[in-house]
Amino acid sequence: MTKSNKKKILVGSLRQETNSFSPVKTRISDFEVYKGKEMLNHIASTSVFQKAGFEIIPTLYAYATPSGKVDEDAYMSFKSYILDCIPKDEKIDGVWLYLHGAMNVKNIGSGEGLLVSEIRKKVGQDVPIAVALDFHANNTELLIKSSNIIYGYRTVPHEDSDETQIRAAQILLECIDKAILPESVMVKPPLLLPGEMVITSAEPAKSLIKELEVAEKQEGVLCASIFSGMPWADISNAGASVVIVGEKNCVAANEQAKRIAKLFWDARDKFKFEAEAAEPVVAVEKAANAAEDLVFISDSGDNVTAGAPGDSAYLLDILLQSNIQKTLVAGITDSRLVRKLSNSHNALTENRIKFKLGGELDKKNKSLELEGYVKTKGAVERKDDNSDTRFAVVNIGGVDVIVTDKRVAFTSPEIIESTGIKISNYKIVVVKLGYLYPDLKKIAKRSIIALTPGSSSLVIESFKFKNIRRPIFPLDKNFDWEP
């Protein structure tokens, strides 16, 4: 067989965001996995490499919803697969990876750092490695030292996943073409901020993003990124970082990393919730009395997109006690109830049944003994997700609850309405999120963040951290820091 003379790019993606306070372990079955050529349909850089005339060596695409720590065997299986795809007798010209940056593996720690360091050992020191990352990455020195190019999202809520992947690919191709082996410089200001306080369309994050453009105009600088970090992670590398990529021994890269990190630190007291935020009872009262005809309440302490289980009935309890009508809770995870209702002969009738709801995945979460009836049931439809997630819509008084057998982030009207209900029939919609995702924000007349308890509570000071670096803001207030 004749070997190709084309330059070769190894590509792969392994993404999961870890909430170490969540008891829900991330197992191999929780990952959506595509291997070989099939994976190329799930990354945005494929056409970039093809148009440049490169031969793509595919490995795998594996993604799991944010949750608790990743099972060690699952991670090792994915890592080994990627490493085994690296040709032993062929030259690799570059490596492109799409990772999260906040994956934490049981008994190992950072999944990204170990993966990239082992790829580096196999491909050698002269092959450029580019990594595209989430804005909430908890970056490690091992990752920075093992890779040449780090490029992160610039939007929260995230709207630039494809652009980030493509930009990382373009920088990699530029480095291969010019025979450049850049270096990444990282500075970590001691900040542990919830993502709901670092919204890139609002100040001060908006101005910090603009400073990245200033940095990229400096001689020798290839790209610049800031990361707010994943705060619900009791690990030494949790928190914010600034990463500047420059040509080897680039003085400006080091200067700009320190400059922007200092700006990040100096703005620490200015980061606020973009949306209205209130204690849970007050949030419900505000929504009930609102003049607006569609109010979204975020059950922020049980935020599925921040790795929480999504099985707390805490806010539902407040809604029921308040006797509020025309309300939808989207949704609560409880596989026991979905199985019970799927097997019930009374399903899809108004025969009232008694059931328990909540606290299945996290025993510390609120559970309730309730009575209601099933309005509809079926399978949740999610774009680019083939997992079979079953649901039942249960009416309890004036509240409809979408109950799912697996954790679901209801981030768009389409996902919510795939359960057969119409958002326009409700005045209040409760979602297991923090900030509203763009498609929900478009239809919300008002949004309120309920400061509920749980493994993604926005009251960061309420957690008992043991392993993070100290001092760190806002857990510690009265200290100075210089990069």
- pLDDT confidence of 372, banded at 50, 70, 90? very high
pLDDT at 349: 59
Amino acid at 463: F
pLDDT at 383: 66
Q: What is the pLDDT of residues 207-238, one digit of tens each?
A: 999 999 999 999 999 999 999 999 999 999 99
The CA distance from 265 to 258, in Å, is 10
- pLDDT confidence of 317, banded at 50, 70, 90? very high
The answer, yes or no, to whether residue 382 has pLDDT greater than 90, is no
Residue pointed to by tokens 């595919």 = 58
- pLDDT confidence of 400, banded at 50, 70, 90? very high
How many degrees, rounded to 5, is the angle at CA 178 between CA 173 and CA 184? 70
Q: How much of the chain exceeds pLDDT 90, in percent?
A: 93
Among residues 411, 469, 409, the alpha carbon closest in space to that of 233 is found at 469
The answer, yes or no, to whether residue 2 has pLDDT greater than 60, is no
The answer, yes or no, to whether residue 1 has pLDDT greater than 70, is no
Q: What is the pLDDT of residues 28-56, one digit of tens each?
A: 999 999 999 999 999 999 999 999 999 99
Q: How much of the chain exceeds pLDDT 70, in percent?
A: 97
CA distance between the termini of the chain: 55
Q: What is the pLDDT of residues 133-187, one digit of tens each?
A: 999 999 999 999 999 999 999 999 999 999 999 999 999 999 999 999 999 999 9
Integer angstrom CA distances of residue 479 from 130, 190, 321, 373, 470: 36, 10, 44, 55, 10
CB neighbour list of residue 76: distance below 8 Å, 6 or more residues apart: none
The CA distance from 22 to 19, in Å, is 6
- pLDDT confidence of 5, banded at 50, 70, 90? confident
pLDDT at 344: 64
SS3 341: helix
The answer, yes or no, to whether residue 387 has pLDDT greater than 80, is no
Indicate the average pLDDT of the chain.
Answer: 95
Q: What is the pLDDT of residues 177-196, one digit of tens each?
A: 999 999 999 999 999 999 99
The CA distance from 119 to 115, in Å, is 6
Q: What is the pLDDT of residues 82-119, one digit of tens each?
A: 999 999 988 999 999 999 999 999 999 999 999 999 99
- pLDDT confidence of 381, banded at 50, 70, 90? confident
Cβ atoms of residues 315 and 280 within 8 Å: yes
- pLDDT confidence of 388, banded at 50, 70, 90? confident
